[in-house]
Amino acid sequence: MKLRLISSAVAVGCLLVAAPASAQGVKIGILNDQSGVYADYGGKWSFEAAKMAVEDFGGEVLGQKIEIVSADHQNKPDLGASIARKWYDVDGVDMITELTTSSVALAVQELSKEKKKIDIVVGAATSRITGDACQPYGFHWAYDTHALAVGTGGALVEAGGDTWFFLTADYAFGYALEKDTSEIVIAKGGKVLGAVRHPLNSSDFSSFLLQAQSSKAKIIGLANAGLDTANSIKQAAEFGIVAGGQKLAGLLLTLAEVHGLGLKAAQGLVLTEAYYWDRDDKSRQFAERFFKRTQRMPNMIHAGTYSATLSYLKAVKAAGSKDTDAVAQKLKELPVDDAFATGKVLANGRFVHDLYLFEVKKPSESTKPWDYYKLLATVPGNKAFPTAAESGCPLTK
Protein backbone atom coordinates (compact mmCIF):
# COMPACT_ATOMS: atom_id res chain seq x y z
CA MET A 1 0.00 0.00 0.00
CA LYS A 2 2.84 2.38 0.96
CA LEU A 3 4.64 1.56 -2.29
CA ARG A 4 1.45 2.29 -4.25
CA LEU A 5 1.10 5.67 -2.49
CA ILE A 6 4.72 6.52 -3.25
CA SER A 7 4.22 5.56 -6.90
CA SER A 8 1.10 7.73 -7.05
CA ALA A 9 2.98 10.63 -5.48
CA VAL A 10 5.80 10.27 -8.01
CA ALA A 11 3.27 10.24 -10.85
CA VAL A 12 1.59 13.39 -9.53
CA GLY A 13 5.01 14.99 -9.09
CA CYS A 14 5.87 14.20 -12.70
CA LEU A 15 2.62 15.80 -13.83
CA LEU A 16 3.42 18.89 -11.78
CA VAL A 17 6.88 19.08 -13.31
CA ALA A 18 5.48 18.66 -16.83
CA ALA A 19 2.67 21.15 -16.32
CA PRO A 20 4.64 24.39 -16.76
CA ALA A 21 5.32 23.69 -20.46
CA SER A 22 1.59 23.81 -21.22
CA ALA A 23 0.87 26.46 -18.59
CA GLN A 24 3.46 28.85 -19.94
CA GLY A 25 0.99 30.20 -22.45
CA VAL A 26 2.09 30.61 -26.05
CA LYS A 27 5.83 30.42 -26.63
CA ILE A 28 7.56 31.45 -29.86
CA GLY A 29 11.23 30.86 -30.68
CA ILE A 30 13.38 33.11 -32.87
CA LEU A 31 16.19 30.89 -34.16
CA ASN A 32 18.79 32.51 -36.42
CA ASP A 33 22.38 33.64 -36.90
CA GLN A 34 23.14 36.33 -34.32
CA SER A 35 26.94 36.40 -34.43
CA GLY A 36 28.07 35.45 -37.92
CA VAL A 37 27.70 36.32 -41.57
CA TYR A 38 23.93 36.95 -41.29
CA ALA A 39 23.89 38.85 -37.99
CA ASP A 40 22.67 42.11 -39.55
CA TYR A 41 20.57 40.40 -42.21
CA GLY A 42 18.34 39.00 -39.45
CA GLY A 43 19.96 38.51 -36.07
CA LYS A 44 18.83 40.35 -32.96
CA TRP A 45 16.86 42.76 -35.14
CA SER A 46 14.43 39.96 -36.05
CA PHE A 47 13.99 39.29 -32.34
CA GLU A 48 12.99 42.94 -31.88
CA ALA A 49 10.52 42.68 -34.76
CA ALA A 50 8.91 39.59 -33.19
CA LYS A 51 8.59 41.44 -29.88
CA MET A 52 6.86 44.28 -31.72
CA ALA A 53 4.32 41.81 -33.12
CA VAL A 54 3.58 40.44 -29.65
CA GLU A 55 3.15 43.94 -28.27
CA ASP A 56 0.85 44.93 -31.15
CA PHE A 57 -1.23 41.80 -30.54
CA GLY A 58 -1.67 42.77 -26.89
CA GLY A 59 0.77 40.40 -25.18
CA GLU A 60 -1.81 37.66 -24.68
CA VAL A 61 -3.80 35.20 -26.75
CA LEU A 62 -6.64 32.96 -25.53
CA GLY A 63 -6.08 34.49 -22.07
CA GLN A 64 -2.48 33.22 -22.02
CA LYS A 65 0.75 35.20 -21.93
CA ILE A 66 2.86 35.23 -25.11
CA GLU A 67 6.58 34.67 -24.62
CA ILE A 68 9.43 35.08 -27.12
CA VAL A 69 12.71 33.21 -26.75
CA SER A 70 15.78 33.55 -28.95
CA ALA A 71 18.94 31.60 -29.80
CA ASP A 72 21.93 31.71 -32.15
CA HIS A 73 22.30 28.61 -34.37
CA GLN A 74 25.66 29.85 -35.74
CA ASN A 75 24.67 28.59 -39.20
CA LYS A 76 25.15 24.98 -38.04
CA PRO A 77 22.30 22.58 -38.91
CA ASP A 78 23.13 20.16 -36.07
CA LEU A 79 23.19 22.98 -33.52
CA GLY A 80 19.98 24.48 -34.89
CA ALA A 81 18.20 21.14 -34.72
CA SER A 82 19.52 20.53 -31.18
CA ILE A 83 18.21 23.90 -29.96
CA ALA A 84 14.87 23.31 -31.65
CA ARG A 85 14.56 19.84 -30.10
CA LYS A 86 15.18 21.23 -26.60
CA TRP A 87 12.73 24.04 -27.21
CA TYR A 88 10.04 21.60 -28.31
CA ASP A 89 10.69 18.81 -25.78
CA VAL A 90 11.74 20.74 -22.67
CA ASP A 91 10.88 24.41 -22.96
CA GLY A 92 7.36 24.17 -24.37
CA VAL A 93 7.98 26.24 -27.50
CA ASP A 94 4.94 26.14 -29.80
CA MET A 95 6.36 27.71 -32.97
CA ILE A 96 9.82 28.52 -34.33
CA THR A 97 10.40 31.27 -36.86
CA GLU A 98 13.02 33.33 -38.73
CA LEU A 99 15.39 30.38 -39.38
CA THR A 100 18.05 32.11 -41.45
CA THR A 101 20.29 29.67 -43.36
CA SER A 102 18.64 27.09 -45.61
CA SER A 103 20.48 24.06 -44.23
CA VAL A 104 19.31 24.93 -40.71
CA ALA A 105 15.77 25.68 -41.88
CA LEU A 106 15.51 22.31 -43.63
CA ALA A 107 16.78 20.48 -40.53
CA VAL A 108 14.35 22.28 -38.22
CA GLN A 109 11.48 21.77 -40.66
CA GLU A 110 12.05 18.00 -40.62
CA LEU A 111 12.16 18.02 -36.81
CA SER A 112 8.99 20.14 -36.66
CA LYS A 113 7.20 17.53 -38.75
CA GLU A 114 8.35 14.80 -36.34
CA LYS A 115 7.30 16.83 -33.27
CA LYS A 116 4.11 18.11 -34.90
CA LYS A 117 5.05 21.74 -34.35
CA ILE A 118 4.72 24.77 -36.61
CA ASP A 119 7.75 26.48 -38.14
CA ILE A 120 7.57 29.62 -40.27
CA VAL A 121 10.74 30.19 -42.28
CA VAL A 122 11.51 33.85 -43.00
CA GLY A 123 15.26 34.29 -43.45
CA ALA A 124 16.18 31.11 -45.35
CA ALA A 125 15.83 31.09 -49.11
CA THR A 126 15.65 27.62 -50.64
CA SER A 127 12.39 26.99 -52.47
CA ARG A 128 12.58 23.35 -51.31
CA ILE A 129 10.93 24.46 -48.05
CA THR A 130 7.55 24.53 -49.77
CA GLY A 131 8.68 22.25 -52.59
CA ASP A 132 9.93 18.70 -52.25
CA ALA A 133 10.78 19.23 -48.54
CA CYS A 134 7.35 20.60 -47.60
CA GLN A 135 5.48 19.26 -44.58
CA PRO A 136 2.01 19.92 -43.09
CA TYR A 137 3.24 22.34 -40.42
CA GLY A 138 5.95 24.16 -42.39
CA PHE A 139 5.53 27.66 -43.84
CA HIS A 140 7.72 29.99 -45.92
CA TRP A 141 7.10 33.70 -45.55
CA ALA A 142 9.29 36.48 -46.99
CA TYR A 143 10.75 35.22 -50.29
CA ASP A 144 12.47 32.21 -51.82
CA THR A 145 15.06 31.43 -54.46
CA HIS A 146 12.41 31.08 -57.17
CA ALA A 147 11.01 34.54 -56.46
CA LEU A 148 14.47 36.12 -56.44
CA ALA A 149 15.29 34.42 -59.73
CA VAL A 150 12.11 35.71 -61.36
CA GLY A 151 12.63 39.21 -60.01
CA THR A 152 16.33 39.96 -60.42
CA GLY A 153 17.34 37.28 -62.93
CA GLY A 154 14.39 37.74 -65.24
CA ALA A 155 14.64 41.53 -65.28
CA LEU A 156 18.36 41.58 -66.08
CA VAL A 157 18.03 39.12 -68.98
CA GLU A 158 15.22 41.20 -70.43
CA ALA A 159 17.45 44.27 -70.11
CA GLY A 160 20.18 42.61 -72.21
CA GLY A 161 22.14 40.74 -69.54
CA ASP A 162 21.91 37.44 -71.38
CA THR A 163 25.19 35.76 -70.34
CA TRP A 164 25.75 34.79 -66.71
CA PHE A 165 28.45 33.43 -64.41
CA PHE A 166 27.58 32.53 -60.81
CA LEU A 167 29.51 33.11 -57.60
CA THR A 168 27.72 30.68 -55.32
CA ALA A 169 27.72 29.99 -51.57
CA ASP A 170 28.62 26.32 -51.12
CA TYR A 171 25.53 25.06 -49.29
CA ALA A 172 21.80 24.43 -49.85
CA PHE A 173 20.81 28.07 -50.26
CA GLY A 174 23.48 28.86 -52.84
CA TYR A 175 22.74 25.75 -54.89
CA ALA A 176 19.01 26.52 -54.96
CA LEU A 177 19.51 30.17 -55.89
CA GLU A 178 21.93 29.29 -58.67
CA LYS A 179 19.62 26.56 -60.00
CA ASP A 180 16.45 28.67 -59.93
CA THR A 181 18.13 31.69 -61.50
CA SER A 182 19.83 29.58 -64.18
CA GLU A 183 16.46 28.14 -65.18
CA ILE A 184 14.94 31.61 -65.52
CA VAL A 185 17.95 32.91 -67.49
CA ILE A 186 17.80 29.97 -69.92
CA ALA A 187 14.00 30.15 -70.23
CA LYS A 188 14.31 33.78 -71.30
CA GLY A 189 16.92 32.97 -73.95
CA GLY A 190 20.09 33.66 -71.95
CA LYS A 191 23.13 31.45 -71.36
CA VAL A 192 24.97 30.34 -68.21
CA LEU A 193 28.71 30.31 -68.91
CA GLY A 194 29.79 28.75 -65.64
CA ALA A 195 29.86 28.92 -61.84
CA VAL A 196 32.26 28.76 -58.93
CA ARG A 197 31.42 27.93 -55.33
CA HIS A 198 32.88 29.50 -52.22
CA PRO A 199 32.70 28.49 -48.53
CA LEU A 200 30.23 30.25 -46.25
CA ASN A 201 31.72 33.28 -44.49
CA SER A 202 34.65 33.72 -46.87
CA SER A 203 37.06 36.60 -46.40
CA ASP A 204 38.95 36.32 -49.68
CA PHE A 205 36.98 36.19 -52.95
CA SER A 206 39.88 37.04 -55.25
CA SER A 207 40.27 33.67 -56.98
CA PHE A 208 36.50 33.31 -57.43
CA LEU A 209 36.12 36.82 -58.82
CA LEU A 210 39.00 36.34 -61.24
CA GLN A 211 37.24 33.27 -62.68
CA ALA A 212 34.03 35.27 -63.01
CA GLN A 213 35.89 38.14 -64.66
CA SER A 214 37.67 35.88 -67.14
CA SER A 215 34.33 34.29 -68.16
CA LYS A 216 33.42 37.58 -69.91
CA ALA A 217 29.82 37.05 -68.80
CA LYS A 218 27.73 40.23 -68.89
CA ILE A 219 26.23 39.41 -65.47
CA ILE A 220 28.00 37.96 -62.44
CA GLY A 221 25.25 36.52 -60.28
CA LEU A 222 26.06 36.62 -56.57
CA ALA A 223 24.24 33.56 -55.25
CA ASN A 224 25.22 34.34 -51.67
CA ALA A 225 23.99 36.65 -48.91
CA GLY A 226 24.89 38.78 -45.90
CA LEU A 227 28.56 39.62 -45.41
CA ASP A 228 29.51 37.22 -48.21
CA THR A 229 27.62 39.40 -50.69
CA ALA A 230 29.00 42.62 -49.21
CA ASN A 231 32.59 41.32 -49.36
CA SER A 232 32.08 40.04 -52.91
CA ILE A 233 30.95 43.49 -54.02
CA LYS A 234 33.78 45.31 -52.23
CA GLN A 235 36.46 43.04 -53.70
CA ALA A 236 34.87 43.14 -57.17
CA ALA A 237 35.37 46.91 -57.09
CA GLU A 238 39.06 46.41 -56.29
CA PHE A 239 39.39 44.21 -59.39
CA GLY A 240 37.62 46.78 -61.55
CA ILE A 241 34.98 44.27 -62.61
CA VAL A 242 32.09 46.73 -62.92
CA ALA A 243 34.37 49.42 -64.37
CA GLY A 244 35.36 46.83 -66.99
CA GLY A 245 31.78 46.49 -68.20
CA GLN A 246 30.46 43.47 -66.29
CA LYS A 247 27.46 43.92 -64.00
CA LEU A 248 26.98 42.43 -60.54
CA ALA A 249 23.58 41.00 -59.64
CA GLY A 250 22.92 40.76 -55.92
CA LEU A 251 20.51 37.84 -56.03
CA LEU A 252 19.89 38.06 -52.28
CA LEU A 253 20.73 41.56 -51.18
CA THR A 254 18.77 43.48 -48.56
CA LEU A 255 18.73 46.94 -47.08
CA ALA A 256 21.03 45.76 -44.27
CA GLU A 257 23.85 44.87 -46.66
CA VAL A 258 23.35 48.01 -48.77
CA HIS A 259 23.62 50.09 -45.60
CA GLY A 260 26.82 48.27 -44.65
CA LEU A 261 28.32 48.82 -48.09
CA GLY A 262 27.27 52.45 -48.44
CA LEU A 263 25.81 53.97 -51.60
CA LYS A 264 29.19 54.66 -53.17
CA ALA A 265 29.97 50.94 -53.32
CA ALA A 266 26.42 49.65 -53.82
CA GLN A 267 25.11 52.17 -56.37
CA GLY A 268 23.60 50.64 -59.49
CA LEU A 269 23.05 47.19 -58.01
CA VAL A 270 19.74 45.61 -58.98
CA LEU A 271 17.98 43.51 -56.34
CA THR A 272 14.64 42.11 -55.30
CA GLU A 273 13.08 42.60 -51.86
CA ALA A 274 9.60 41.91 -50.54
CA TYR A 275 9.60 45.03 -48.35
CA TYR A 276 11.04 48.52 -48.41
CA TRP A 277 10.59 50.88 -45.50
CA ASP A 278 9.72 53.88 -47.71
CA ARG A 279 7.24 52.06 -49.96
CA ASP A 280 3.97 53.38 -48.51
CA ASP A 281 2.43 54.84 -45.34
CA LYS A 282 2.02 51.43 -43.68
CA SER A 283 5.63 50.39 -44.28
CA ARG A 284 6.90 53.79 -43.13
CA GLN A 285 4.91 53.69 -39.89
CA PHE A 286 6.28 50.26 -39.01
CA ALA A 287 9.82 51.29 -39.98
CA GLU A 288 9.76 54.43 -37.86
CA ARG A 289 8.70 52.42 -34.81
CA PHE A 290 11.38 49.83 -35.54
CA PHE A 291 13.99 52.58 -35.94
CA LYS A 292 13.17 54.04 -32.52
CA ARG A 293 13.99 50.65 -30.97
CA THR A 294 17.02 49.70 -33.04
CA GLN A 295 18.43 52.85 -34.69
CA ARG A 296 18.18 51.15 -38.08
CA MET A 297 15.53 50.63 -40.74
CA PRO A 298 14.15 47.10 -41.23
CA ASN A 299 14.74 44.89 -44.24
CA MET A 300 12.39 42.20 -45.53
CA ILE A 301 13.64 39.66 -42.98
CA HIS A 302 12.87 41.88 -40.00
CA ALA A 303 9.47 42.96 -41.37
CA GLY A 304 8.77 39.37 -42.44
CA THR A 305 9.47 38.07 -38.94
CA TYR A 306 7.02 40.63 -37.56
CA SER A 307 4.41 39.42 -40.04
CA ALA A 308 5.04 35.70 -39.41
CA THR A 309 4.75 36.17 -35.64
CA LEU A 310 1.60 38.27 -35.93
CA SER A 311 0.00 35.85 -38.39
CA TYR A 312 0.70 32.89 -36.11
CA LEU A 313 -0.95 34.65 -33.17
CA LYS A 314 -3.97 35.55 -35.28
CA ALA A 315 -4.25 31.90 -36.34
CA VAL A 316 -4.11 30.72 -32.70
CA LYS A 317 -6.87 33.17 -31.82
CA ALA A 318 -9.00 32.12 -34.80
CA ALA A 319 -8.52 28.43 -34.00
CA GLY A 320 -9.39 29.02 -30.34
CA SER A 321 -6.55 26.64 -29.50
CA LYS A 322 -2.82 25.99 -29.78
CA ASP A 323 -3.57 22.67 -31.47
CA THR A 324 -1.05 22.42 -34.30
CA ASP A 325 -3.41 21.06 -36.95
CA ALA A 326 -6.04 23.68 -36.19
CA VAL A 327 -3.55 26.55 -36.20
CA ALA A 328 -1.87 25.34 -39.41
CA GLN A 329 -5.27 25.24 -41.09
CA LYS A 330 -6.05 28.79 -39.98
CA LEU A 331 -2.69 30.02 -41.25
CA LYS A 332 -3.70 28.71 -44.68
CA GLU A 333 -7.21 30.16 -44.49
CA LEU A 334 -6.66 33.67 -43.12
CA PRO A 335 -5.59 36.45 -45.49
CA VAL A 336 -2.47 38.38 -44.54
CA ASP A 337 -2.53 42.17 -44.54
CA ASP A 338 0.07 43.92 -42.41
CA ALA A 339 3.05 46.26 -42.57
CA PHE A 340 5.11 43.64 -44.38
CA ALA A 341 2.80 42.49 -47.15
CA THR A 342 -0.69 41.60 -48.32
CA GLY A 343 -1.47 38.18 -49.70
CA LYS A 344 -2.53 34.59 -49.04
CA VAL A 345 -0.97 31.32 -47.91
CA LEU A 346 -1.10 28.34 -50.26
CA ALA A 347 -1.75 24.72 -49.35
CA ASN A 348 2.01 24.02 -49.38
CA GLY A 349 2.65 26.75 -46.78
CA ARG A 350 4.00 29.37 -49.22
CA PHE A 351 2.89 32.93 -48.40
CA VAL A 352 2.26 34.57 -51.79
CA HIS A 353 2.70 38.34 -52.04
CA ASP A 354 4.21 40.91 -54.35
CA LEU A 355 7.96 41.55 -54.53
CA TYR A 356 9.77 44.62 -55.79
CA LEU A 357 12.66 45.07 -58.16
CA PHE A 358 14.89 47.92 -56.98
CA GLU A 359 18.02 49.67 -58.15
CA VAL A 360 20.35 51.10 -55.51
CA LYS A 361 20.53 54.88 -55.81
CA LYS A 362 23.62 56.90 -56.55
CA PRO A 363 24.78 59.00 -53.59
CA SER A 364 23.60 62.13 -55.43
CA GLU A 365 20.07 60.68 -55.73
CA SER A 366 19.62 59.98 -52.01
CA THR A 367 17.75 62.78 -50.22
CA LYS A 368 17.58 61.50 -46.63
CA PRO A 369 19.06 58.83 -44.32
CA TRP A 370 18.30 55.26 -45.47
CA ASP A 371 16.96 56.56 -48.81
CA TYR A 372 18.64 53.81 -50.83
CA TYR A 373 16.25 52.35 -53.41
CA LYS A 374 14.40 53.42 -56.51
CA LEU A 375 11.59 51.14 -57.68
CA LEU A 376 12.05 49.59 -61.11
CA ALA A 377 9.11 47.19 -61.17
CA THR A 378 6.58 45.33 -59.05
CA VAL A 379 6.66 41.54 -59.42
CA PRO A 380 3.13 40.18 -58.77
CA GLY A 381 2.98 37.34 -56.27
CA ASN A 382 1.43 34.94 -58.76
CA LYS A 383 4.40 35.54 -61.07
CA ALA A 384 7.05 35.39 -58.35
CA PHE A 385 5.95 32.11 -56.77
CA PRO A 386 4.77 28.84 -58.35
CA THR A 387 1.35 27.48 -57.49
CA ALA A 388 1.13 24.79 -54.83
CA ALA A 389 0.56 22.20 -57.55
CA GLU A 390 3.65 23.38 -59.48
CA SER A 391 5.89 23.59 -56.39
CA GLY A 392 6.74 19.89 -56.18
CA CYS A 393 5.25 19.64 -52.68
CA PRO A 394 4.00 16.04 -52.16
CA LEU A 395 1.11 17.34 -50.02
CA THR A 396 -0.50 19.01 -53.02
CA LYS A 397 -0.36 16.10 -55.46
pLDDT, tens only, 181-201: 999 999 999 999 999 999 999
CATH topology assigned to domain 2-143+280-353 = Rossmann fold (3.40.50)
The per-residue pLDDT for range 243-287, each reduced to its tens digit, is 999 999 999 999 999 999 999 999 999 999 999 999 999 999 999
Give the span between the Cα atoms of 107 and 138, in whole angstroms: 12
3-class DSSP state of 96: strand
115-160: per-residue pLDDT in tens? 999 999 999 999 999 999 999 999 999 999 999 999 999 999 999 9
379 vs 297: CA distance, rounded Å: 23
Extents of the domains making up the chain: 2-143+280-353, 146-273+355-384
Q: 235 or 24: whose pLDDT is higher?
A: 235
Give the single-character DSSP code of 350: B
User: What is the rounded distance in angstroms from the CA atom of residue 153 to the CA atom of residue 163?
Assistant: 11
CB-based contact 93:83 (threshold 8 Å): no
Label residue 76 exposed, middle or buried (CB < 10 Å: 0-12, 13-18, 19+).
middle
> What count of other Cβ atoms lies within 10 Å of the Cβ of residue 297?
25
Collapsing DSSP states into helix, strand and coil, what is residue 147?
Answer: helix
Is 24 strand, coil or helix? Answer: coil
The predicted model gives 56-64 an average pLDDT of 97
Burial category of 338 from C-beta neighbours within 10 Å (exposed 0-12, middle 13-18, buried 19 and up)? middle
2-143+280-353 and 146-273+355-384 have identical folds: yes
In total, the chain counts a number of residues equal to 397
Name the pairing type of β-strands 342-345 and 351-353.
Answer: antiparallel
Cα angle 233, 229, 178; round to 5: 115
Quick one: pLDDT band at residue 19, thresholds 50, 70, 90?
A: very low
Q: How far apart are CA 261 and CA 116, in angstroms?
A: 41
CATH architecture of 146-273+355-384: 3-Layer(aba) Sandwich (3.40)
What is the DSSP secondary structure assignment for residue 32, as one 8-state letter? E
